[in-house]
Structure 1
Amino acid sequence: MNYYIIAGEASGDLHASNLMKALKVEDTDAHFRFWGGDLMQAQGGELVKHYRETAFMGFVTVLKNLGKIRANFKLCEKDLLSYQPDVLILVDYPGFNLRMAKFARKHGIRVHYYISPKIWAWKEGRVKQIKVNVDRMFTIFPFETEFYKKHNYPVSFGGNPLLDAIENRPNKEESFADFTAKNQLSDLPIIALLAGSRKQEIERILPVMLDTISSFPDHQFVVAAAPSIDKAFYANIVGDRKVAFVYGQTYDLLQQSKAALVTSGTATLETALLRIPQVVCYLTGGGKLLYAIGKRLLHVKYISLVNLVMDQLIVKELIQQYCNPKDISEELTLILDNMEYRNKMLHNYQLLHEKLGGAGASARFAKMIYEDLQVHCAGSISKV
């Protein structure tokens, strides 16, 4: 089979690469052409565009790059028609991928969506586009399945591929001593700081996290630095505070940490799956007014995936005015020193792991995708 895959960011590159690896097991004649990154490229096939050239985030950035965005659409449309794949597999990245779904559908190309866009949080109206233009939707969260069920659109849940990424991570057996020696850290217990990967997000949240350092003199604070952000940017924020940095080692850092301060998003789920107690910290830009508007537009009770999946408050979410050094320090003290509180969170992490379906999601999704294509191709031949 010929597979055309579009992933527009680092997380998509990770999950798509694991899917490609699993597809090669199911389909020994698999051929890939894709938009993605280094991890997908390592699986073989032709890379059309790297996500570094297509990731435009934020209203102003999008406006400045409208010409490039239009050119990318044209290139992708032309390339898709030239390749004529058996299936187009879209990985999240809704702004680009929903348009490509419509284009592919118009030209008779089968469309699979792997990792649903977060329309359950906002822009729920996009479900109409998906029902018209997507042949199969594969979901990675149980609550997503319920969301689509509500809209009378059948989907397939196969578990969460993050479990595979974490299970197969490198340095899984690395000791605390080896990790600290490698990164020139002290032997004090570590508190990890995951302040996001975008500059605006880091500028808002990291300073607040750093203001808690003085309350925990018996711990060392270590930032999981985003590979795309240079050291000078972080240095300007940190000033003379005593904090260390590690680049490209987020999982390694977390597994050696006693606790973590984490922004909302996938990082909260990764932290939970690595069994590290956490405090979720989040600040939006634009102050109280913009936050109030955003809250009205969102259709979810929680901002962290941990709480969304479990549909209850498993980890504390400190948002806006509650995201301050005093409240963060109080919650951090609880998860460090109160063993009953800490163990309850860890117990709920185990339930979360079970609810997400266990390891092997990439293989399950690959099997579903390949079997669907076999049925579809057989049906197409019988009609001829």
Structure 2
Amino acid sequence: MKYYVIAGESSGDLHGARLIEELRKRQGADAQFRIVGGDRMEQACGERAMLHVRDMSFMGFIEVLLNIKSIAKNLRTVKEDLLAYRPDVLILIDFPGFNLKIASFAKHHDIKVFYYISPKVWAWNTGRVKTIKRIVDHLFCILPFEVDFYKQWDMKVDYVGNPLLDAVALHHSDSTFKIRHGLEGKKLIALLPGSRKMEISKLLPEMVKLVNLFPGHQMVIAGAPNFDKGYYDAYIGGHDLPVIFDETYNLLQHSEAAVVASGTATLETALLDIPQVVVYKANPISIAIGRRVIKVKYISLVNLIMDEEVVKELIQEDANYRYIANELNLLLNDGTHRLKMLAAYKRLRDVMGKPGASKKVAELIERYLAK
């Protein structure tokens, strides 16, 4: 069976790798892969990515416009490669701005299209559901409320659970983490400024300003796999601010609190039971457009799933170090505030159910292809 799998950002690369591993476990050498993704997917399938996520991830309306030539080139490259490879099925993972265009192209050329992790059409531009219904053969959703959303549009989807539950369940905390990184005896605060250049460039400078406000804690940056230490050094300056790569879960589990860029990491942090404050910044014009068109009350997955403010969200002008410091202070020193968040995390885990998303998606893919 020939699979063409596309993930356009770091979180999708993780989920894509888990799915590839599951398909290979079930099919062995019969499963062949062509990928657009990152390091994890490359490792999972033993193939180089035809296009790497580091060259694809642009976030925000203005940011997309500024990189429109690069995006157009990437689309042309993938379309040509898709036709040359002619897979049995195209598996798209999140990343809707790019992947829906590829889905439409594939459908036009009689290639089956399976979509894993629904585009967030419930947040804005719900009219895209009609497009999805036309060009996607099967949609696998990871958020509980998405099933009812699509039902309103007379569209049947498969709820497979959330793959982050798999990732967290498979992780085993390393008791040597602090010793290995020279952090023993220190209380930690984790800083997760995101995995895209835009996020890091806007959020990390505010995070760096927090260092001197919490002298009793050591702040540590979770480095994104698509950047090196030198990239972060440009923002850190002379501050005592270690950057640790490929150990985000270990860092979180050894931290008392975290400052987290809005995205998948907010849900991971909650599943690992770490109190957090969520931050988000983008181009001011992108934010202004977003505030006019986005229809949901929250930006973090934790709050969206629970439909209440479990974690504090600081957006744009509010995502400055003073407001972040105020919330961090509550998380560290106000026991009632901290316990309330941890209690909500427990309810969140109950709502999300049990691990097994990657296995379930692999089973459904085989079943639908067999038909």
TM-score by length of 1: 0.87
Selected match of 1:285 from 283, 286, 290: 283
Are the counterparts in 2 of residues 158 and 357 from structure 1 also a CA contact under 8 Å? no
Could you tell me how far 1:312 is from its partner in structure 2? 0.8
Could you tell me how far 1:305 is from its partner in structure 2? 0.6
Farther-moved stretch of structure 1 (83-92 vs 366-375): 83-92
Could you tell me how far 1:64 is from its partner in structure 2? 6.8
Number of residues paired by the alignment?
369
Could you tell me how far 1:67 is from its partner in structure 2? 5.5
1:378 corresponds to which residue?
A: none
- Give the secondary structure class of the aligned counterpart of 1:284: coil
Farther-moved stretch of structure 1 (253-262 vs 317-326): 317-326
Could you tell me how far 1:266 is from its partner in structure 2? 0.9
1:24 corresponds to which residue?
A: 24
Could you tell me how far 1:132 is from its partner in structure 2? 0.6
2:315 corresponds to which residue?
A: 319
- Give the secondary structure class of the aligned counterpart of 1:142: coil
One-letter code aligned to 1:157: Y
One-letter code aligned to 2:2: N
Q: What is the distance in 1 between the residues matched to 2:255 and 2:232?
A: 21
| Structure 1 residue ranges without an equivalent (≥5) | 376-384
Are the counterparts in 1 of residues 305 and 348 from structure 2 also a CA contact under 8 Å? yes
One-letter code aligned to 1:132: R
Are the counterparts in 1 of residues 56 and 71 from structure 2 also a CA contact under 8 Å? no
Farther-moved stretch of structure 1 (300-309 vs 214-223): 214-223
One-letter code aligned to 1:57: F
Q: Which structure has the bigger radius of gyration?
A: 1
Selected match of 1:359 from 355, 358, 365: 355
Question: Structure 1 residues 342, 138: CA separation in 2 closer, same or farther (over 3 Å shift)?
Answer: same
Question: Structure 1 residues 277, 124: CA separation in 2 closer, same or farther (over 3 Å shift)?
Answer: same
One-letter code aligned to 1:208: E
Question: Structure 1 residues 131, 348: CA separation in 2 closer, same or farther (over 3 Å shift)?
Answer: same
Cα displacement string for residues 21-63 of structure 1 (whole angstroms, at most 9, x for unaligned residues): 2223444533322222332233336545132464151567756
- Identity, in percent, stands at 49
2:173 corresponds to which residue?
A: 173
Q: What is the distance in 2 between the residues matched to 1:219 and 1:366?
A: 43
Q: What is the distance in 1 between the residues matched to 2:74 and 2:243?
A: 35
Q: What is the distance in 2 between the residues matched to 1:190 and 1:235?
A: 20
1:33 corresponds to which residue?
A: 34
Q: How does 1:133-212 map to 2 (within 5 A)?
A: 133-169=135-171, 172-175=172-175, 178-212=176-210
- Give the secondary structure class of the aligned counterpart of 1:108: coil
Selected match of 1:101 from 74, 87, 103: 103
Q: What is the distance in 1 between the residues matched to 2:69 and 2:204?
A: 33
1:237 corresponds to which residue?
A: 235
2:10 corresponds to which residue?
A: 10
Cα displacement string for residues 252-277 of structure 1 (whole angstroms, at most 9, x for unaligned residues): 11111011011111111111111101
Selected match of 1:342 from 338, 361, 365: 338
One-letter code aligned to 1:341: H
Are the counterparts in 2 of residues 192 and 253 from structure 1 also a CA contact under 8 Å? yes
Aligned-residue Cα RMSD (Å) equals 2.4
Selected match of 1:267 from 255, 265, 289: 265
Could you tell me how far 1:182 is from its partner in structure 2? 1.3
Cα displacement string for residues 121-140 of structure 1 (whole angstroms, at most 9, x for unaligned residues): 23333222111100111001
Are the counterparts in 2 of residues 27 and 370 from structure 1 also a CA contact under 8 Å? no
Selected match of 1:328 from 306, 320, 324: 324
Could you tell me how far 1:218 is from its partner in structure 2? 1.4
Question: Structure 1 residues 231, 74: CA separation in 2 closer, same or farther (over 3 Å shift)?
Answer: closer
| Structure 2 residue ranges without an equivalent (≥5) | none
- Give the secondary structure class of the aligned counterpart of 1:217: coil
Q: What is the distance in 1 between the residues matched to 2:156 and 2:351?
A: 20
One-letter code aligned to 1:12: G
- Give the secondary structure class of the aligned counterpart of 2:194: coil
Are the counterparts in 2 of residues 88 and 109 from structure 1 also a CA contact under 8 Å? yes
Are the counterparts in 2 of residues 36 and 47 from structure 1 also a CA contact under 8 Å? no
- Give the secondary structure class of the aligned counterpart of 1:193: strand
1:214 corresponds to which residue?
A: 212
